[in-house]
Amino acid sequence: HQSDRDPVKMLAIGIGGGSMPMFLLHFFSSLSKDAVEIDPVVIDAAKSSMGFPEQNDRLGLYVQDAAAFAQEHQSKKQYDFVYIDAFDGEDCIPEGLCSEDFIQSVASMMDPEKGVLLMNFHDEDPRAFKTAQRFHHSIHGTSFTVSCRIQKNFILCCSTSDYLSG
């Protein structure tokens, strides 16, 4: 029963068209979510074209750089699930999201017993492999990648525990 579940706290970095946040909020009533998007134009487009909500009691929307958000909130917020899908104009992970400081900040915001991170990478991003390795080494638990050859990307999955592996 949904009301018997503990609330799930999620952080999404990069909202794109907003379909993932809307999907999760619609189908998971115990979910509360913070979404961070640096570009107000992306947010406006998601609202005007994709039906992204102007306001939702379970959604905190932050219009700021994700690295700054992570640094500012690393000791104040803790998340069960972190989803990173952010790219610059070159279809690469923004440089600030590849830094050791950002990675450590994200790792510190993850629930130490049940935290999960999913991060989307494009195969041709020159920073992708090294950034995935840094997350793997910073989030102690289980890590693996899933490749999608059609779209030429891969998803990094990390857990702060071993429950993903078995």
Q: Is 85 a catalytic residue?
A: yes
Q: How does pLDDT run across 36-48, given as a tens digit for each residue?
A: 999 999 999 988 8
Give the global pTM: 0.89
Q: How does pLDDT run across 111-146, given as a tens digit for each residue?
A: 999 999 999 999 999 999 999 999 999 998 899 999
Handedness of CA 2, 74, 16, 93 (dihedral sign): negative
**Edge-to-edge strand list for the sheet holding 116-122:** 59-63, 31-37, 8-13, 81-84, 116-122, 153-159, 142-148
Q: Which residues of 130-158 are buried (b: 16+ CB within 10 A; e: fewer)?
A: ebbebbbebbebbbeeeeeeeeebbebbb
Q: How far apart are CA 160 and CA 117, in angstroms?
A: 9
Q: Is 54 exposed, middle or buried (0-12, 13-18, 19+ CB in 10 A)?
A: exposed
Among the listed residues 85, 91, 111, 125, the single catalytic one is 85
